[in-house]
Structure 1
């Protein structure tokens, strides 16, 4: 690995924005087949971390010339999340019913947006950026650091697993569905939809997700963020009618589902590049036919080959024999919201074993069947994984809670 002299320092918006944006634009995400997914931060390189409790962006600048060039960037944030659960044998002194699971919280750091200019790769710049960011994580008392990458990104995997002691941890799925601009999707009368206020959504989420991996302790901040467009609850219409969330929690229906919608379009725009002309032509044809004969309700592929935005679905949960059916209704509602918001896709990310995945419509051609999350315990004392309760060695659960602020 050839090294180059660079200075790693904190990002300064007024001074570094142009250079940082240039590096981001040179680094497309390429999942497969030569097709790349270009991501634009809409003039704000810090947008993906700005809503987190604590965040930092670093840049790598060439030195020794008087007017350094930005050749690398990295972003990170720190928050308190659930990393497991424990089940007390009794409620003595704890006020908790015997056998009820109690969440185990940890302070965790998330690395995202590591980019190095193509002309300066294999020079140790990415390694320097990550190590400097990890120092900041430790100074903020983070116990774990984790990152996500596509499983085909061998350079990123080599950096984190071979040079930085990260281990492969979870393999969630990113599911993407196009938004059909020509028509709304009908919502069945067999389901009742409730739009929950943030306070009610917080109560529900703390009740059902408090012991789910990656559940953020500051869920209230997420739900009250202007980018969170609402939390929606669905249950069979013939069920009992609910007036308060307390009423729902004390007497829930046999089946129900819930999800929240996050507006990613105001922060990020995407664009598919490298798509063959034939596929572009087929996509155009579906739109033309849908527009000409909308009553046939033919699924049309939106224009994904020019900049577009999307909505992200998070907090997906539910119970009962009709939970999957109720979730489909909620996804249809989210599709209609995205259509009205001018978006071209609706996306979500779920655990590999998520039991409700059959209720989430998606197109395989647009989705990532296996995202890869890697984790590391930051305290050197526990790097060998010998301590009891080391999260890096835990067995994955059926579900995870994906923070929309990190999408």
Structure 2
């Protein structure tokens, strides 16, 4: 009996990158890491289990191993950062008697990449991994923890909402557009696209979007990261651009901003389960689009083999023409994705996002309702007037961190 207990003893420990990488890759292949529609996570391109979280301010990866052979049967990733709760706090300004509006921030933890081997499910391993990760969150001062999953992923939702006391918090949409063989027009005669430097992008985001829910306080690290493919500002052609200072003090009536993140160097996706007829039809659209690019046929890229994606984030803008400008920025991002060899352009927006209608996407590839669940990790409040963010109503927009997509 003791030998059997030792053989089945479960150990949860921190990942040893040198010793565990191959075993983790094998576990990832055994697990179907579902995403929206027919897409699923295919593989970590770099063969690095922590590649998707290494750019976060603070991160941890745990593995669950069992038996004398130390088989890895479960993994979980977690990271911690400081974000805005989407509220404002008015404080006296040092410069004058006016009140200065500041966003309310909190230390937020995020759980991603929870996997359990199919042969070891329903044995409480996932729950043990989550509990251990939450212990690390608390030790490092996180006030809240959240995770994201698909609406139809009942096992994951049941684990977090029924066993771990998370509540459904937000239901954003993941919008996916294929990258065609032709370039997309961006109407440069009416709208000018300006590529901002990382310092300019940081300043603009802090001035305009810092009170948006989930806005990361280390936005400077994001826009300066090697995976960031640029931040782009769209303004009317007649607007004279002389620099960011003038834009912030005297902006045009309408404008839009958006950043792009190259996920191709981090992970790849593939669409599974497509019939031969559908594959051939998709190939035919690509052949025609490549031969006759001036027709601008909406062709289907080769998404039935591993492909990369370009993720759009930091969407924002003002004015009656902001949606038109956001659409132009999406077209510009499509052309960047084409140059990078990505198969799709993806963004995630709040269900009430004002610029949502401007984002081109294919409904079949997109996910109308992703589910974000949240849990408060601490019992006491540092300031009783701030309330509990996990019980707050949704705002119009959210800031989706590309490091966690």
Which category describes the TM-score, using the shorter chain as reference length? over 0.9
In structure 2, C-alpha distance between the alignment counterparts of 1:17 and 1:345, rounded to whole Å: 28
Which ranges in structure 1 are unaligned for 5 or more consecutive residues? none
Which of 27, 39, 46 lines up with 1:23 in the alignment? 27
Change (3 A) 1:60 1:334: same
Contact kept in structure 2, 1:31 and 1:152, CA below 8 Å: no
CA–CA separation in structure 2 for the residues paired with 1:171 and 1:5: 38
Query: Among residues 77, 80, 86, which one is paired with 1:78 in the alignment?
Result: 80
Shift of 1:39: 2.7
Aligned to 1:248: 247
1:18-57 equivalences in 2 (<5 Å): 18-30=22-34, 35-42=38-45, 43-57=47-61
Aligned residues: 394
Equivalent position of 1:340 in the other structure? 339
Could you tell me how far 1:6 is from its partner in structure 2? 1.0
The 5 A counterparts of 1:377-392 are 377-380=376-379, 389-392=387-390
Q: TM-score, normalised by structure 2?
A: 0.93
Asked whether 1:368 is paired with 2:372, we answer no
Q: Extract unaligned runs of 5+ from structure 2.
A: 1-7
Q: Which residue of 1 aligns with 2:356?
A: 357
- Aligned match of 2:398: 400
Give me the whole-angstrom Cα distance separating, in 1, the residues matched to 2:192 and 2:151.
40
Q: Could you list the per-position Cα deviations for residues 114-170 of structure 1 after superposition, in whole angstroms to 9, with x for gaps in the alignment?
A: 000000000000001000000110111000000000010000001000000000000
Deviations 1:272-314 (A, max 9, x none): 1112223222211211221232221111000100000011111
Q: Deviations over 1:215-274 (max 9, x none)?
A: 0000000011111111100011122x1222111000000000000111100001111111
Separation in 2, partners of 1:310, 1:77? 22
What's the counterpart of residue 212 of structure 1? 212
Deviations 1:42-74 (A, max 9, x none): 2011111000000000000003x2x21000000
Q: 1:36 to 1:265 in 2, by over 3 A?
A: closer
- Partners of 2:54 and 2:186 in 1: CA distance: 35
Give me the TM-score of the superposition, normalised by structure 1: 0.93
Alignment-derived partner of residue 5 in structure 2: none
- Sort the Cα spacing of 1:115 and 1:148 in 2 relative to 1 into closer, same or farther, 3 A: same
Distance 1:69 1:96 in 2: 63
Aligned positions of 1:8-407 closer than 5 A: 8-30=12-34, 35-42=38-45, 43-63=47-67, 65=68, 67-88=69-90, 92=92, 95=95, 98=98, 101-181=101-181, 183-188=182-187, 189-239=189-239, 241-380=240-379, 389-407=387-405
CA distance in 2, matches of 1:293, 1:36: 29
Cα distance in 1 between the residues matched to 2:347 and 2:215: 15
Partner SS state of residue 108, structure 2: strand
SS of 2:103 mapped into structure 1: strand
C-alpha separation in 2, matches of 1:40 and 1:97: 56
CA shift digits 1:323-362 (9 cap, x unpaired): 1111111111111111011111110111110000111111
Q: Is the 8 A contact 1:85 1:101 kept in 2?
A: no
SS of the residue 1:265 aligns to: helix
Instruction: Report the Cα distance in structure 2 between the residues aligned to 1:317 and 1:305, rounded to whole angstroms.
Output: 33
CA contact (8 A) 1:101 1:211 kept: no
